[in-house]
Each structure stands twice: as structure tokens, then as C-alpha cells.
């Protein structure tokens, strides 16, 4: 099993409808490929974790890279894992722009701010920490 983490910059402002559309498309493909994961979005950035077999995750990432909704894709991590973090999640998505102010402030204090939203980290350990923080919500 492998895990892939990336972040990217959206070419348009992201809203809940954008997140919903991506999740619906991803769930169909990921179920077929036995991929689990989660997508986070601020108004300006995407952040995603994918888990599954090497070929399926690799193929999915190459499809994501060609998506015209984003640019400046940064691969944070692609490597083996011992256990899925998102077992049973074909794909979940969270728009981090409609949070309560206390949670948003906590996440900005912990991870920083970028383009008016929570800054997505570029280190694997910090990325997994953020996913853990969000998963608890």
C-alpha cells in the first residue's frame, strides 16, 4: 500500500460546490480503484491524500495533474505506508473556509496562513498532522 500527498493552487475561487463536485467524481473512480483518501480546500488551494495500491494511486495522480482547475502542483510525499489513515473513506472532502472562527484560528496558528486561508504544509509529518486535526472535526 502507498500514500500520496500533494497540494496545488486553484485557478478560480473554490466554494462548497467545487468541493462537492470533485468529491462526487473522485468517489466513482476511487471506489473502482480501491483508493481511499481526503481532500481539503481553502478558497485558493487544494490539499489531498490518496491511499491504495501503487499503480492505482500513481494513475490517479497523473489524472489529477491534468485537471485544468489547478496549477503549481507540489508532490509532498509518495511512498509506502503500513496502514490506511482513511480506511472506509472512498473520498471525503472538507472546505476549510466555512469553519467556526475558533477552529480556523487554531489551524492558522498551528500551520500558518496563505492567501487568506489555512496554509497547507509541505512536509509529510505536518501534512498528516493537519489531516489528523481535520479528521477529528
Can you name the CATH fold of 2-135?
A: Alpha-Beta Plaits (3.30.70)
Axis-axis angle for helices 16-33, 54-65 (nearest 10) = 150
**92: Cβ contacts below 8 Å, ≥ 6 apart:** 23, 37, 38, 39, 86
- Alpha helices (H) in the chain, listed in sequence order: 16-33, 54-65, 101-111, 124-135
Which pLDDT score is estimated for 13? 93
The whole model's pTM is what?
A: 0.91
Which pLDDT score is estimated for 14? 93
Q: What are 50-100's pLDDT values in tens digits?
A: 999 999 999 999 999 999 999 999 999 999 999 998 888 888 888 887 767
Pick the residue with more confidence: 93 or 3? 3
- CA separation, residue 17 to residues 4, 21, 27, 29, 86 (Å): 25, 6, 15, 19, 23
Domain boundaries, the chain: 2-135
Is the predicted pLDDT of residue 135 greater than 80, yes or no? no
Best CA proximity match to 65, nearest among 6, 126, 136, 134: 6
* Residues 88, 58: Cα–Cα separation, whole Å: 20
Is the predicted pLDDT of residue 137 greater than 70, yes or no? no
Which pLDDT score is estimated for 15? 92
Amino acid at each position: 500500500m502507498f500514500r500520496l500527498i500533494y497540494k496545488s493552487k486553484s485557478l478560480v475561487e473554490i466554494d462548497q460546490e467545487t468541493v462537492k463536485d470533485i468529491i462526487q467524481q473522485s468517489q466513482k473512480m476511487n471506489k473502482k480503484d480501491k483508493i481511499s483518501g481526503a481532500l481539503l480546500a481553502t478558497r485558493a488551494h487544494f490539499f489531498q491524500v490518496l491511499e491504495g495500491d501503487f499503480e492505482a494511486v500513481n494513475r490517479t495522480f497523473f489524472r489529477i495533474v491534468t485537471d485544468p482547475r489547478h496549477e503549481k502542483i507540489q508532490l509532498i510525499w509518495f511512498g509506502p505506508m503500513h496502514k490506511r489513515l482513511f480506511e472506509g473513506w472512498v473520498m471525503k472532502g472538507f472546505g476549510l473556509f466555512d469553519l467556526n472562527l475558533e477552529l480556523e484560528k487554531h489551524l492558522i496558528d498551528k500551520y500558518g496562513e496563505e492567501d487568506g486561508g489555512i496554509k497547507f504544509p509541505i512536509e509529510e509529518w505536518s501534512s498528516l498532522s493537519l489531516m489528523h486535526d481535520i479528521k477529528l472535526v
